[in-house]
Amino acid sequence: MSLKNYLTFALLAIACPQLQAKDYRTSLFGIHSDGVTLNTRSIQYAIDFISQNGGGRLVFNVGRYLTGSIHLKSNVTLHLEEGAVLLGSLNPWDYDKKVWTAIVFAHDQQNIGITGQGIIDGRGRYIARNIVDMIHKGLIKDLFRQDRPEAETRPVLAYIRNCENVNIRGVTMQNSSSWVQIYDQCKNVAIDSITVDSKAYWNNDGIDIVDCDGVTVTNSYIDSDDDGICLKSHDASKVCRNVLVRNCTIRSSANGIKFGTASYGGFSNIKIYNVKIFDTYRSAVTLAAVDGGFVENVIVDSLKAYNTGNAIFFAHWGKGKREERENGKCEHFQYVCGGTCYQARCRL
């Protein structure tokens, strides 16, 4: 199946379950929009109820909805109308951790979504401050390198793992305390017309696509303090494949679009069309296969790069070279630019 046909099928698969979706207003479940009442259990009850009764949308009207970790279930979409804000709690104990800490989780689910013109606000600077306080008190165990909690300890806005038919459309995601949104080993993911504004703390990747198969990122604006769109391969037995990035604008304090750094499996059939990247001090597009993984069938077309360190940068280290580099034993790495392979000293 061609990439075009595959992605068309993926979009149809995502759209079809929504045709019969029923809307449920948050007020039905006693969910409060005052920005003060903690709604975690009420929102979770609503998600569970909707999933168990044929699916539908949980619709948030104008207001501020305070919550800790919630877990999306099959056939449920969170729909945030314009003026609705899903507000992350500032209390570290209000969050669950399943590999990552997150506001919105989804594990092993199908036909899920986050849509609308509303906002998910992680209030990252403040929740990170409170996590640091708990680390200092000895209540949270953390490596606390460089005087900041590990990325997995700080809440991301959404961690979607091993899910199929995921629809993220229209929403604004802002102020994460870590990576903004992670799609990990998912199939058929459509991300369209979203805004990412995340410069609140460290490691603010705009979108992380990890070992997924069939992802479209279209018509979106990303402004992040780390890589804008980051494709990763965390599992040596997996491949991040069939990904389309089109008609997006990215501002990043690192790379605009990056493959890696985690690249244990590989990257295949990646297409990047008509993307504008500006004000990144690293590269507009970085292809980094540094953990023994591979990169194949990549097309970059109509890339517009303004005020960037490089337009396109490719780095490849053979299997085991990253471990050697991290241990100070690697003497050189390879990178390719314009079809020519160069050798350069490691910058340890």
pLDDT digits (tens, 9 = 90+) for 156-191: 999 999 999 999 999 999 999 999 999 999 999 999
To which residue do tokens 């603010």 refer? 204
At 118-163, the pLDDT tens digits run: 999 999 999 999 999 999 999 999 999 999 999 999 999 999 999 9
User: If you compute the radius of gyration of the chain from its CA atoms, what whole number of angstroms results?
Assistant: 20
Predicted local confidence at residue 8, as pLDDT: 52
Predicted local confidence at residue 2, as pLDDT: 57
344 contacts 319 by C-beta, under 8 angstroms: no
Higher pLDDT, 339 or 26: 26
The span from the CA of 188 to the CA of 209, in Å, is 12
- Per-residue pLDDT averaged across 242-263, rounded? 95
Predicted local confidence at residue 152, as pLDDT: 96
Predicted local confidence at residue 289, as pLDDT: 87
Among residues 219, 218, 202, 209, the alpha carbon closest in space to that of 182 is found at 209
- Per-residue pLDDT averaged across 34-59, rounded? 98
- Per-residue pLDDT averaged across 263-284, rounded? 95
Predicted local confidence at residue 248, as pLDDT: 98
The span from the CA of 187 to the CA of 167, in Å, is 11
- Per-residue pLDDT averaged across 297-303, rounded? 95
To which residue do tokens 């570290």 refer? 92
Predicted local confidence at residue 316, as pLDDT: 76
Residue 277, beta-bridge partner list: 250, 305
Predicted local confidence at residue 94, as pLDDT: 98
Predicted local confidence at residue 318, as pLDDT: 58
Residue 3 phi/psi, 5-degree rounding, is -60, -40
- Per-residue pLDDT averaged across 99-113, rounded? 98
* Sign, Cα dihedral of 138, 143, 145, 150: negative
Average pLDDT, the chain: 88
Architecture category of domain 3-344 in CATH? 3 Solenoid (2.160)
Token pair for residue 307? Answer: 């005020």
Predicted local confidence at residue 342, as pLDDT: 30
- Whether the pLDDT of residue 341 is over 60: the answer is no
The residue extents of the domains of the chain are 3-344
pTM (two decimals)? 0.87
In the structure, what pLDDT confidence band is assigned to residue 337 with cuts at 50, 70 and 90? very low
DSSP state of 95: -
- Per-residue pLDDT averaged across 287-313, rounded? 92
Average the pLDDT over each of 42-56, 208-222, 292-306, 330-344 and give the range with the smallest value.
330-344
Pairing state between β 340-344 and 333-337: antiparallel
To which residue do tokens 């597009």 refer? 285
